[in-house]
Chains A and B, each alone.
Chain A
């Protein structure tokens, strides 16, 4: 089954404790992206990757890092999480950067206390 898999689904952590949210896709998509969803703000792009070893900032990159060492994986790293990073996070992949719909993962609900 074609899918984007995120882990974990739910995570509660403390301020400053480094964490990684994993994302993997099995569709051989070149384009991957991370979004966060907050009430009243919709989906905002954090980082995106056009291919292996090629990443760039989205609209809200502060406090996040990403890497793309393999085509299928695109982990999101929070080096020192803060409460304002409490949010619902989605990873997504696409065949190309425009026109083609994203396939989204099921989301990771992160709470930073």
Chain B
């Protein structure tokens, strides 16, 4: 049972445009959702999180939106930069457990 799903394995976006990464979940008990970025040969790096009681959280170029009724969250990156090219994981967290999605590889084209 995959509780957190990232259905798009990859995404290509032109530099300066918006990147939208999507994530769906099935577990209603998650109380936080988080996004991580991963470069090759490095560990994932925490980007941004959102509480399940909110619908939007913004940090610089990164905004996460949460739609609880649809059990869907998305990460918007505006404007996209070549350095944003990486694999992005979403995760849901509950008591002592984080469940990660399978990741989306973002490529920002110069």
Contact = CB atoms under 8 A, between A and B. Distances in A.
Instruction: Tell me if B's interface is mostly helix, strand, loop or mixed.
Output: strand
Most buried by A among B31, B43, B96, B100: B43
Interface string B79-110: 00000000001010111111111110000000
B43 A101 contact: no
Give the size range of B's interface with the partner. 20 to 34
A56 B34 CA distance: 22
A90 B89 contact: no
Contact of B102 (A4, A41, A97): A41
B28 interface: no
Contacts, number: 66
A48 B95 CA distance: 11
A92 B103 CA distance: 18
Nearest to A98: B93
A42 B31 contact: no
A99 B42 contact: no
Contacts of A58: 97
Contact of B51 (A48, A99, A104): A99
Nearest to B100: A43
A44 B100 contact: yes
Given A4-B43, A42-B100, A99-B31, 9 more contacts: A42-B4, A43-B89, A45-B97, A50-B96, A97-B93, A99-B93, A101-B36, A102-B44, A106-B42
Interface of A: 4, 31, 33, 35, 40-45, 48, 50, 56, 58-59, 90, 92, 97-107
17 contacts: A31-B96, A40-B102, A42-B101, A42-B103, A43-B89, A43-B100, A48-B96, A90-B43, A97-B93, A98-B31, A98-B96, A99-B93, A101-B36, A102-B44, A102-B46, A104-B44, A107-B43
